[in-house]
Amino acid sequence: MFVEQSERYAAFPGPSNYHRTMTESPRELPHPEVEDLVLTDVLFALSDPNRLAIVRELAAGDLEQTPCAAVGGPMPKSTRSHQLKMLREAGVIRNVPSGRQRSVSLRRDDLEARFPGLLASVLGVPLESPTR
């Protein structure tokens, strides 16, 4: 009986494939590398007004990292979570654990290295210029 069941379910991935869906640490989220950033993904992520507002807030902020709950203004937690996920998967922000909460930061240097001038033109504000 056991052999019959295992043959019947052989087409389905078993527990041995489960590790592919998990990150190294349950708290670590995957972020694309700089060379893996895709222009259409970044532009799509920035096309939503709520996500663009989050990026503008992060770009204008004095802090390098901000708690997730502090960005996005008054919106439901589920919506904020989805918007941050879209920005993270596109490579626009970095979302890292910080104690019992998460902190988000704008990947300004990564975006500038991959797509020079994109962030400044989309946000309509110049990037921080070096002091002379």
Q: In what order do the strands lie in the sheet with 66-67?
A: 66-67, 101-106, 93-98
Interior angle at CA 25, CA 24 and CA 26, nearest 5: 125
Query: Quick one: pLDDT band at residue 45, thresholds 50, 70, 90?
Result: very high
**Type of residue found at 6:** S
C-alpha distance from residue 114 to each of 38, 39, 101, 110 (Å)? 9, 9, 29, 6
For the residues 53-78, what does the mean pLDDT come to?
A: 78
Task: Write down all domains in the chain, each with its CATH number in brackets.
Answer: 25-123 (1.10.10.10)
CA distance 104 to 39: 21
Which pTM was predicted? 0.70
